[in-house]
Amino acid sequence: MSTPEQWMRVQGELGQRLYLILDSAGQLEERNALLNEWDNDQYRNLYIGTPASSLAAVAPYLFQLDTLDHPIIQALLKSPERHWGWLASSASGDLDLLTRHWRARLVTGERPNQALYRFHDNRVLGRALAHLRPEQRSEFLGPIASVCYWQDGQWAAAYNPAPGEYSVPPAPAWLVIPLTADTAAGVQFDNVRRYLMVEQIERLAKLAEQQSADAWLQAQLELARAWGWQAPDQVRFLLVQCLQSPGYVPPRSWLPQDNETPMVHFERVYQEAQFWQGDAIV
C-alpha cells in the first residue's frame, strides 16, 4: 500500500507535476475555497465546452498542485471515504492538454442515448485500472503517468506504461467493465445527488434543515431497489415526489400490492400522483 505522501515523493523524484481531480458533488466548500486561492491558469472545469456544460456548476475540476501540504488537500486526504476524486502526476505542465484528454472521455454513446462517464470517481477509476490491459491503460490515462486513489479501504497507486496523447478508440475498453454492486450503488447515489442539487436545490435545502440529506437520499434509493424501480426516470420520480410529500416519505398508498410487478406498481403510483396533481388522463 502506498500512501499519498509516499506516492508524491516518488513522483517528485521522477520530475512529475502533480494534479488533483476533484468531484464537486459533496465537496463544494473545498472546491470553492481552492478556486478562490488558485490562479485561473491552475485549474479547469471539466464540463465546460462539452455536452454536459449545463451541469458546469457541479462539474469535476482539474487542479494543478505544487504540494499536498495544504490544509484543504490534507483534509481531503484524511477523509478518502468521501470519494472526492483522485491524485495524478504527469510530465506535462500543459493543463489544457490534460483537460482535452478527459473532456474527450466524458460523454459516451450517441444522442439521444448519451451518458456521463464518471472518470473522476475514484471507484470507477480503480475498477477500470484493475481490468485494462497495459495498452488500454495508456489510452485511458493519456498524458497522466501515475494516479493515486482510494480503493477498497486503502490507498492504491497505478502507473501508465506509455504516457502520451491518445485519441478515444472506437470501442473504449473502460466502458465495458462490469461494476460491482457496491460501486454501482455508489455511482447511482452520486449521480442522483448531483441531479437533485441542480434540479431540486431549494427543496433539498429545506429538507437538509430538518435531517441529513445524504441519509434521506440513501434511504430512498434503498426503497427504490426494494420496489424494483431502477430505471432512471423511476428513481427521479420517487425522489422528486418524496421531496414534496409530508415528512419527505411516500404515502402508504404507494406500498406495493400483492402480486403487483414493479412495472405495474410504478404505473399505478405514477397515475395516482398525476391524478392528485391534476394531470391525469380521464
What tens digit of pLDDT does each residue of 144-203 get?
999 999 998 999 999 999 999 999 999 999 998 766 677 677 778 877 887 888 889 899
Q: CA 93 to CA 278: how far, in whole Å?
A: 57
Q: Which percentage of the chain shows pLDDT scores above 90?
A: 69
What's the domain range around 218?
200-276
With vertex at residue 102, the alpha carbon angle to CA 99 and CA 105, rounded to the nearest 5 degrees, is: 150
Check whether residue 209 and residue 252 sit in a common domain. yes
> Which pLDDT does position 184 carry in this prediction?
73
Check whether residue 41 and residue 170 sit in a common domain. yes
Q: Is residue 186 assigned to a domain?
A: no
> Which pLDDT does position 279 carry in this prediction?
45
Q: Is residue 27 assigned to a domain?
A: yes
Kindly report the number of other CB atoms within 10 A of residue 30's CB atom: 18
Check whether residue 164 and residue 254 sit in a common domain. no
Check whether residue 171 and residue 208 sit in a common domain. no
Look up residue 81 and give its three cell numbers. Answer: 471515504
Check whether residue 167 and residue 228 sit in a common domain. no
**Which long-range CB contacts under 8 A does 230-238 form with residues at least 24 apart?**
234/266, 235/188, 235/192, 236/192, 236/195, 237/266, 237/270, 237/273
Q: CA 29 to CA 72: how far, in whole Å?
A: 10
Mean pLDDT of the chain: 90
Q: Is residue 255 assigned to a domain?
A: yes
Check whether residue 65 and residue 172 sit in a common domain. yes
Check whether residue 91 and residue 123 sit in a common domain. yes
For the segment 66-120, what is each residue's pLDDT rounded down to a tens digit? 888 999 999 999 999 999 999 999 999 899 999 999 999 998 866 666 788 989 9
Q: Taken in order 102, 179, 159, 3, is the CA torsion positive or negative?
A: positive
Q: Alpha carbon of 221 to those of 122, 151, 202: distances in Å? A: 21, 23, 20
> Which pLDDT does position 70 carry in this prediction?
93
Q: Is pLDDT at 281 greater than 50 in this prediction?
A: no
> Which pLDDT does position 181 carry in this prediction?
73
For the segment 37-57, what is each residue's pLDDT rounded down to a tens digit? 999 999 999 999 998 898 899
- What DSSP character marks residue 58? G
Check whether residue 150 and residue 209 sit in a common domain. no
Check whether residue 132 and residue 223 sit in a common domain. no
Check whether residue 206 and residue 66 sit in a common domain. no
Q: Is pLDDT at 2 greater than 80 in this prediction?
A: no
For the segment 25-37, what is each residue's pLDDT rounded down to a tens digit? 889 999 999 999 9
Please say which residue of 116, 146, 177 terminates a domain: 177
Check whether residue 168 and residue 207 sit in a common domain. no
List, in order, residues 6 or more apart from 215 with CB less than 8 Å away.
none
Check whether residue 90 and residue 142 sit in a common domain. yes
Structural domain total, the chain = 2
| Rg, C-alpha atoms of the chain | 21
Q: CA 162 to CA 132: how far, in whole Å?
A: 14
> Which pLDDT does position 25 carry in this prediction?
83
SS3 97: helix
Name the residue with higher pLDDT: 114 or 17: 17
Name the residue with higher pLDDT: 168 or 282: 168
Q: CA 164 to CA 94: how far, in whole Å?
A: 12
With contact defined as beta carbons under 8 Å apart, do 192 and 237 qualify? no
Q: Is residue 281 assigned to a domain?
A: no
